[in-house]
Amino acid sequence: MDRSVPGVKNIILVLSGKGGVGKSTVSTQLALALKEKGFKVGLLDIDLCGPSVPYLLGLEGSSVHQCPQGWVPVYTDQSQKLAVMSIGFLLNNRNDSVVWRGPKKTAMIKQFLNDVYWEDIDYLIIDTPPGTSDEHITVMENVRGACNGALIITTPQAVALEDVRKELTFCRKTGIPILGIIENMSGFVCPTCSECTNIFSTGGGKSLSEHANVPFLGCIPIDPSISATKESVLKTNPDSPVAIFFNSLTSSVTSQEVIS
Ligand SMILES: Nc1ncnc2c1ncn2[C@@H]1O[C@H](COP(=O)(O)OP(=O)(O)OP(=O)(O)O)[C@@H](O)[C@H]1O
Ligand code: SF4
**Nearest residue (CA) to ligand 1, atom 3:** 222
| Burial (Cβ within 10 Å: 0-12, 13-18, ≥19) of residue 86 | buried
Residue 236 lies in a domain: yes
How far apart, in Å, do the first and last CA atoms of the chain sit? 21
Is 67 annotated as belonging to a binding site? no
Residue 214 lies in a domain: yes
- For the whole model, what pTM was predicted? 0.93
Per the structure, the count of domains in the chain is 1
DSSP, res 3: B
Residue 3 lies in a domain: no
pLDDT tens-digit profile of 159-201?
778 888 889 999 999 889 999 999 999 888 887 877 778 877 7
pLDDT tens-digit profile of 218-244?
999 998 889 889 999 999 989 889 999
User: Is any ligand 1 atom within 6 A of the Cβ of residue 130?
Assistant: yes
User: Is any ligand 1 atom within 6 A of the Cβ of residue 218?
Assistant: no
Contacting residues for 54 by C-beta, under 8 A, at least 6 apart? 45, 60, 62, 74, 84, 86, 88, 89, 94
Distance 22 CA to ligand 1 centre (A): 3
Residue among 49, 125, 151, 227 to mutate when testing ligand 1 (max atoms within 8 A of CB): 227
Is 17 annotated as belonging to a binding site? yes
Maximum distance among all Cα pairs of the chain, rounded to whole angstroms: 55
Across 195-221, b (16+ Cβ under 10 Å) vs e yields ebeeebeeebbbebbeebebbbbbbbb
Q: Which ligand is nearest to the CA of 189?
A: 2
158 or 38: which carries more pLDDT confidence?
A: 38
In whole angstroms, give the CA distance from residue 67 to residue 52: 25
In whole angstroms, give the CA distance from residue 259 to residue 7: 12
At residue 96, the pLDDT reads: 61
ipTM of predicted complex: 0.92
Q: Which residues line ligand 2 (CB under 6 A)?
A: 190, 192-193, 195
Q: Which of 86, 91, 87 is nearest to 42 (CA)?
A: 86
Residue 175 lies in a domain: yes
CATH of the domain at 58: 3.40.50.300
pLDDT tens-digit profile of 82-125?
999 998 898 776 666 666 677 788 888 999 999 999 999 999 99
Residue 259 lies in a domain: no
Structural domain that includes position 152: 8-254
Is 18 annotated as belonging to a binding site? yes
Is 105 annotated as belonging to a binding site? no
In whole angstroms, give the CA distance from residue 195 to residue 172: 38
- Residue 138 CA: distances (Å) to CA of 133, 205, 234, 243: 9, 27, 33, 33
Is 147 annotated as belonging to a binding site? no
Residue 1 lies in a domain: no
Percent of the chain with pLDDT over 90: 53
| Radius of gyration (C-alpha) of the chain in whole angstroms | 17
Ligand 2 atom closest to the Cα of residue 188 is 7
Residue 211 lies in a domain: yes
Residue 190 lies in a domain: yes
